[in-house]
Amino acid sequence: MSGHADVPNASRDGVPGAFNRGVPGVSREAAGGGRLVLLGNAIVDLVMRVPALPERGGDIVSQDTTLTTGGGFNVLAAARRLGLPAVYAGAHGTGPFGDRARADLAREGVEAPLPPVTEEDTGFCVAFVDGGGERTFATSLGAEARLTGAHATAVLAALRPGDLVQISGYGLAYPVNGPVLASLMARLPEHIRVFLDPGPLADQIPEEVLEPVLARCDWVSCNQREGRLLTGRNDAREAAAALAARLGRRTGVLLRADADGCWLVPPGGEPAHVPGRRVTAVDSNGAGDAHTGAFLALLGRGLDLNDAVRGANAAAAFAVTRHGPATGPTVGELLDFLDGDPLAALLSSALRR
């Protein structure tokens, strides 16, 4: 199926033909035709900072509590801040949480073209961040978990050459979204590059949903825990190699290893360690999303693979020095963070042209 079909002004299912309006503040010429199109979930995070998680049946007083949009929003914000046009192609609801998500997407210059689901609000997540910066989640699903075939058809028709489609394991694990997304993956044009982050629910994705998505992916990025769930290997290098072997020679792997950087397996290549940057972490919430968004932005802006991965490692290191889930750096912040590193000159040339 072609990715250039005409998009109608409206469908019988209520999905408008607004998907190709472009990203606010970014012209088509500046965008270069390529965008990050997120087939994920933007939800609202209730972030509570606690000294430690309470014991079972216990309680603890939060030191600080914030309400912010999170989930797939973090990836979109990270990519936009580095200059890549972005589209949220997921479902969103009607209510205060849906309003908050749409307002935050608009503030970052991210388009949300699908109409709100009228019967339900956007979902939310309670995120506990302990004294060591680690995070633990509990999620309540909402409208974002009600993606329909009409939504998928609108997305498919609106994709353009050069687009990067990012898909999250959260959506694949949802009973309604998973089959819709798996079917959509099989229908994507070959010119569309697909990036999967399997997420913490990697072991809860049904095989009949996961396998067709893995077969279509150009890149899979996961952390060490997720790599272990997918391969049974504890060692980061071994897990990266095993995942690459499972995916085949056309698919690349990034296995994120926190402060140690990541393991990169290029399509058809061997695992290589890309060192991270040592920083004092205050909040790891959203670090993986900052890495993913930066990697996609840097690839989309024309950097070569190794430089894109090094830049993504730097963006993730920057993110953990800030409180909040959507803490990916702007171009200026990333260049300042890399001051004195030869990578800064390469990024400056690519991101400011």
Give the neighbor-by-neighbor strand order of the sheet with 42-49: 64-71, 42-49, 124-129, 135-140
**Strand (E) or helix (H) holding 276:** none
Tokens 């997304």, located at residue: 181
CA atoms of 159 and 155, how far apart (whole Å): 6
User: Region 329-339: what's the mean pLDDT?
Assistant: 95
Residue 23 pLDDT > 50? no
Q: Please give the residue range of the domain that contains residue 333.
A: 28-217+276-351
Residue 152's CATH number: 3.40.1190.20
- Does residue 108 lie within any of the structural domains? yes
DSSP letters spanning 311-348: HHHHHHHHHTTSSSS--PPPHHHHHHHTTT-HHHHHHH
- Does residue 244 lie within any of the structural domains? no
User: Region 277-288: what's the mean pLDDT?
Assistant: 87
* Least reliable range by pLDDT among 18-27, 35-44, 194-203, 232-241: 18-27
CA atoms of 79 and 84, how far apart (whole Å): 5
End-to-end CA distance of the chain: 34
Tokens 């800030």, located at residue: 322
Q: pLDDT for 156-188, tens place per residue?
A: 988 999 999 999 999 999 999 999 999 999 999
Task: Give the three-state DSSP class for 203.
Answer: helix
- Does residue 239 lie within any of the structural domains? no
CB contact set of 251 (below 8 Å; sequence gap of 6+): 214, 217, 218, 219, 220, 244, 267
- Does residue 17 lie within any of the structural domains? no
Q: pLDDT for 96-142, tens place per residue?
A: 999 999 999 999 999 999 999 999 999 999 989 898 878 888 999 99
Give residue 199's pLDDT band: very low, low, confident or very high (50, 70, 90): very high
- Does residue 57 lie within any of the structural domains? yes
Residue 15 pLDDT > 80? no
Higher pLDDT, 22 or 219: 219
Q: pLDDT for 57-77, tens place per residue?
A: 999 999 999 999 999 999 999
- pLDDT on residue 33: 53
Residue 300 pLDDT > 70? yes
- Does residue 170 lie within any of the structural domains? yes
- Does residue 223 lie within any of the structural domains? no
Domain count, the chain: 1
- Does residue 123 lie within any of the structural domains? yes
- pLDDT on residue 283: 80
Residue 20 pLDDT > 60? no
